């Protein structure tokens, strides 16, 4: 919901009027006077129509609905309406803006991002890179705490269900913060003071769209992907980016081992590329981790209901305590070491010596069916919160 500021209004005043922390309304200073006519988004509220009955006044409506009278003035541009007039009144709205339980293409991501950013102005969004086909790779930033936690999704094309899971978590998190609710016993507002969450909902938009929509209308890569897929229009087994490079085999953490034993040319899955970080999507994720100095990372994958948390003995001591909480809260199995290298989690631990986790959501054959979505989301909540609160 948006309201128009008047002479003398400040973010601090709107904060008190709507019982919402100032940082959720604007990044301006609390006491800074707003220019009259400035539109301010009030998250968690919507405008509803109210038909005034005979004899009702602004004051009686305020008393009847327990709404501050100045809130009504603000909502109606200071007009003193007559009997029978249609008023705009504020109403708290906890209804979800969207659901991630769908075939989550890059178009769906763009749509849901617009809804989310329009409703919650305190979420920051930036483009940290672009895919081979120049689609933006978005990163959302929520909160301002000293602990920096990063979560990403859809490194692999046919694991697109992870994008919906992550977007739904962000939506639940910010909604809980606006209404000062808890998530599984943790105060969302307090978490925002303690944690800065950096989320990349879709690492491989080209690959996801290929799996869900088929070959792109592109003079090179449409035919190229079809050729790599042996002429089949069924791309459900495709894990790579549009150039046939597996993005989670792209990182300089014993990459040469994977290079020697994986496909030696572009393929729907497992090809590590001709050199580390050759692909723009992988390079963007590595640059973000280096520049922002994340404290912990989670890479969401499917499937197996497992959490991988070690690499070559370089993981910090705190990793085990965190993963044991993840394990207890999700029912997933924690596995310290795996005969696998060159993944994002591997590289983060190898280079930064900080806690990193690869989480294999759900169980079955990729792409996982949406019938598993609700169970996966419930399990993932404990994993996200353990990483943010431990």
Domain ranges of the chain: 2-92, 106-207+276-389
**What band does 59 get if pLDDT is binned at 50, 70 and 90?**
confident
Architecture of the domain delimited by 2-92: Roll (3.10)
Percent of the chain with pLDDT over 90: 91
pLDDT tens column, 127-168:
999 999 999 999 999 999 999 999 999 999 999 999 999 999
Burial 311-330 (b: 16+ CB within 10 A, else e): beebbeeebeebbebbbebb
Task: Give 10's DSSP letter.
Answer: B
* pLDDT score at 347: 98
Lowest average pLDDT, out of 80-84, 295-299, 312-316, 365-369, goes to 80-84
Is 83 a residue whose pLDDT tops 90? Answer: no
Helix extents (H) in 39-183: 58-65, 69-75, 106-119, 161-178
* Topology of the domain covering 106-207+276-389: Aminopeptidase (3.40.630)
Beta bridge mates, 152:
200, 299
- Average the pLDDT over 96-113 and give the result: 98
Residues with Cβ within 8 Å of 26's Cβ and at least 6 positions away in sequence, in order, are 11, 40, 121
Under DSSP, is residue 3 helix (H, G, I), strand (E, B) or coil? Answer: strand
Confidence of residue 32 (pLDDT cuts 50, 70, 90): confident
Reference 49, options 97, 81, 91, 6; nearest CA is 91
Q: Which of 302, 301, 282 is nearest to 348 (CA)?
A: 282
Mean pLDDT along residues 83-103:
89
- The model's confidence at residue 58, banded by pLDDT at 50, 70 and 90, is confident
What pLDDT sits at residue 266?
Answer: 98
Does 18 have pLDDT greater than 80?
A: yes
Q: Is the pLDDT of residue 82 over 60?
A: no
User: 256-286, pLDDT tens digit by residue?
Assistant: 999 999 999 999 999 999 999 999 999 999 9
Q: What is the pLDDT of residue 85?
A: 78
Sort 345 into a burial class: Cβ within 10 Å, 0-12 / 13-18 / 19+. Answer: buried
Say if residue 171's pLDDT is above 60.
yes
Q: Does the pLDDT of residue 119 top 90, yes or no?
A: yes
Of 370, 344, 353, 373, nearest to 313 (Cα)?
A: 353
Q: Is the pLDDT of residue 109 over 90?
A: yes
Catalytic residue numbers, as ranges: 360
Provide mean pLDDT across the span 293-320: 98
Task: Classify residue 121 as exposed, middle or buried by CB count within 10 Å of its CB (0-12, 13-18, 19+).
Answer: middle
Distance from C-alpha of 230 to C-alpha of 132, rounded to nearest angstrom: 21
Q: Where are the beta strands (DSSP E) in the chain?
A: 2-4, 39-41, 45-51, 86-92, 124-130, 136-142, 147-152, 182-183, 186-187, 195-200, 296-302, 306-308, 333-335, 355-361
Whether residue 9 is predicted with pLDDT greater than 60 in this model: the reply is: yes
The mean per-residue pLDDT over the stretch 343-363 comes to 98
Helices 205-213 and 106-119: crossing angle in degrees, nearest 10, is 120
pLDDT at residue 29 above 90?
no
């Amino acid at each position: 919901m948006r309201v128009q500021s008047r002479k003398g209004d400040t973010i601090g005043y709107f904060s008190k009027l709507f019982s919402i922390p100032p940082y959720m309304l604007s990044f301006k200073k609390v006491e800074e006077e707003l220019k009259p006519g400035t539109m301010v988004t009030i998250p968690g509220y919507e405008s509803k129509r109210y038909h005034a009955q005979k004899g009702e006044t602004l004051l009686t409506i305020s008393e009847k609905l327990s709404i501050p009278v100045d809130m009504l003035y603000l909502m109606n541009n200071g007009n003193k309406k007559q009997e029978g007039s249609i008023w705009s009144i504020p109403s708290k709205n906890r209804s979800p803006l969207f659901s991630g339980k769908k075939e989550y293409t890059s178009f769906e991501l763009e749509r849901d991002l617009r809804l989310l950013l329009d409703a919650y102005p305190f979420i920051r969004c930036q483009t940290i890179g672009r895919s081979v086909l120049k689609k933006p790779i978005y990163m959302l930033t929520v909160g301002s705490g000293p602990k920096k936690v990063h979560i990403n999704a859809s490194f692999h094309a046919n694991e697109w269900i992870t994008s919906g899971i992550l977007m739904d978590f962000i939506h639940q998190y910010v909604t809980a913060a606006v209404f000062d609710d808890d998530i599984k016993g943790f105060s969302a507002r307090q978490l925002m003071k303690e944690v800065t969450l950096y989320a990349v909902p879709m690492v491989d938009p080209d690959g996801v769209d290929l799996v869900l929509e088929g070959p792109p209308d592109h003079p090179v890569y449409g035919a190229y992907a079809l050729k790599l897929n042996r002429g089949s229009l069924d791309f459900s087994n495709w894990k790579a980016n549009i150039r046939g490079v597996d993005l989670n085999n792209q990182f300089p953490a014993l990459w040469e081992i994977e290079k020697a034993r994986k496909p030696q040319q572009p393929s729907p899955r497992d090809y590590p590329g001709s050199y580390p970080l050759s692909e723009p999507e992988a390079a963007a994720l590595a640059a973000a981790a280096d520049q922002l100095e994340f404290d912990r990372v989670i890479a969401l994958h499917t499937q197996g209901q497992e959490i991988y948390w070690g690499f070559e003995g370089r993981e910090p001591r705190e990793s085990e305590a965190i993963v044991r909480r993840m394990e207890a809260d999700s029912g997933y199995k924690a596995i310290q070491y795996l005969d696998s290298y060159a993944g994002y989690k591997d590289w983060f631990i190898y280079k930064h010596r900080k806690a990193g986790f690869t989480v294999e959501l759900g169980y079955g054959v990729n792409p996982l069916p949406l019938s598993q979505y609700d169970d996966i989301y419930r399990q993932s909540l404990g994993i996200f919160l353990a990483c943010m609160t431990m």
